[in-house]
Amino acid sequence: MVLNEQDRELIAAIQGGLLLVAEPYAAIAAQLGLTETQVIARLQLLQETGLIKRMGVVVKHRALGYRANAMVVWDIPDAEVERIGALLADETCVTLCYQRPRRLPAWPYNLFCMIHGRERDSVLRRLEQIIEFHGLEKIPHTVLFSGRSFKQRGAHYVDKARLPAVVRRSHG
Amino acid sequence: MDSIDASIVNHLQDGLPVCPRPFDAVAENLGLSVDELLSRLQRLLDDKALTRFGPMYNAESMGGALSLCAMQVPAERYDDVAGLVNAFPEVAHNYEREHLLNMWFVIATERPQQAGAVISQIEQATGCRVYDMPKQQEFYVGLKLVV
């Protein structure tokens, strides 16, 4: 679908988050000079067309005690990526699973999984079980644990300069 | 965070309906008043356990682009380079990781053709090569973080 100017204003107004009030869409509508019904109808359309996956909260894994955040990367023969990617994505501890391009010679890996766990040991134990269960012993892999996190925010898709003043202020 | 907070987080990860009073059904499911649910959510936001209540966009459908990028940064320059990279508004996350490629960040741009320019600017600013690895395929994992 093509975004119109009103959609862009609406997206800009909500991308930093909605107010935690009983009627958040009425609050946004008042800010944009629209009716609540207009805002809800447009957001439902954005959701139906897949531009918005869902309305919800963004959880910070670290703050919830998931301190071991492992990126497990695999060098899988291209013909097998589909099958193995689907198997790994099905594992409960795998929170993201993407195929990405190799960057040879520096980077031979083409499948990336995120595994969140409370401790490094438990993440590694779980990984060993996954490898054994699916017979992945011959697939080269490596585990990159995260150290410091420098920046963590949702992506912003509309220029900050386009945000209404009231929203821009709340982002400093 | 207590067990009520944990079940709130679990419930809300599945998303909220887009309707005039989106919190009513969740509050009822959890046996809370809407006011109590909202004040607990506000506290979780203030404690930084949650980042915000809002939309999860599908970057590609928005016409935008996301790419995971990695750099090999010499240890003695690490903090300086992190500062330079994080100064770009297009950089959404930045993690130190244990590998030869030791700095990993996500670039989000409103249009796909902007990503290349941002990557060149980061390479110029830092003197480090950027390996960009845009997603080719996403395998569906569902929502399953259980607190």
Domain boundaries, chain B: 3-46, 65-134
Asked if B42's CB is within 8 angstroms of A20's CB, the reply is yes
Asked whether residue A79 is assigned to any structural domain, the reply reads yes
Q: In angstroms, what is the C-alpha Rg of chain B?
A: 19
Q: Which residues of chain B neighbour A88 with C-beta distances below 8 Å?
A: 139
A89 and A129 in a single domain? The answer is yes
What is this structure's pTM? 0.71
Q: Is the pLDDT of residue B131 over 80?
A: yes
A12 and A74 in a single domain? The answer is no
Nearest residue to B41 (alpha-carbon basis) of B62, B17, B16? B16
Question: Which of B26, B45, B79, B95 has the most A C-beta neighbours within 10 Å, making it the best mutation to test the interface with A?
Answer: B95
CB pairs A-B closer than 8 Å: 231
Residue of A24, A106, A146 lying closest to B95 (CB–CB): A146
Q: What pLDDT was estimated at residue B119?
A: 96
Q: Which residue has the tokens 């490094």?
A: A120
Asked whether residue A167 is assigned to any structural domain, the reply reads no
Q: What pLDDT was estimated at residue B120?
A: 97
Residue of B13, B35, B38 lying closest to A56 (CB–CB): B13
**Nearest chain B alpha carbon to A89:** B141
**DSSP code for B98:** S
**Dihedral sign (CA A39, A40, A42, A43):** positive
Q: Is the pLDDT of residue A52 over 70?
A: yes
A66 and A136 in a single domain? The answer is yes
Q: Are A53 and A97 spatial neighbours (Cβ–Cβ below 8 Å)?
A: no
Q: What pLDDT was estimated at residue B142?
A: 63
Q: What pLDDT was estimated at residue B73?
A: 97
Asked if A145's CB is within 8 angstroms of B144's CB, the reply is no
Q: What pLDDT was estimated at residue B141?
A: 75
Asked if B104's CB is within 8 angstroms of A144's CB, the reply is yes
Q: B75-123, pLDDT tens digit by residue? A: 999 999 999 999 998 898 899 999 999 999 999 887 888 899 999 999 9
The pair of structure tokens assigned to A114 is 């995120």
Q: Is the pLDDT of residue A65 over 80?
A: no
Asked whether residue A171 is assigned to any structural domain, the reply reads no
Q: Is the pLDDT of residue A134 over 90?
A: yes
Asked whether residue A103 is assigned to any structural domain, the reply reads yes
What's chain B's average pLDDT? Answer: 88
Asked if A146's CB is within 8 angstroms of B55's CB, the reply is no
Q: Is the pLDDT of residue A160 over 60?
A: no
Question: Is residue A163 very low, low, confident or very high in pLDDT (cuts 50, 70, 90)?
Answer: very low
Question: Which CATH number is A26's domain given?
Answer: 1.10.10
The total number of structural domains in chain A stands at: 2
**Nearest chain A alpha carbon to B24:** A22
Q: Which CATH architecture has domain B65-134?
A: 2-Layer Sandwich (3.30)
Asked if B64's CB is within 8 angstroms of A20's CB, the reply is no
Asked whether residue A76 is assigned to any structural domain, the reply reads yes
A124 and A90 in a single domain? The answer is yes
Question: Is residue A35 very low, low, confident or very high in pLDDT (cuts 50, 70, 90)?
Answer: very high
Q: Which residue has the tokens 């960009």?
A: B132
Asked whether residue A13 is assigned to any structural domain, the reply reads yes
By residue range, what is the domain housing residue A43?
Answer: 5-58
Least confident of A33-42, A47-56, A106-115, A129-138: A47-56
Asked if B145's CB is within 8 angstroms of A52's CB, the reply is no
- Predicted interface score ipTM higher than 0.90: no
A84 and A107 in a single domain? The answer is yes
Encoded amino acid at A50, one letter? G
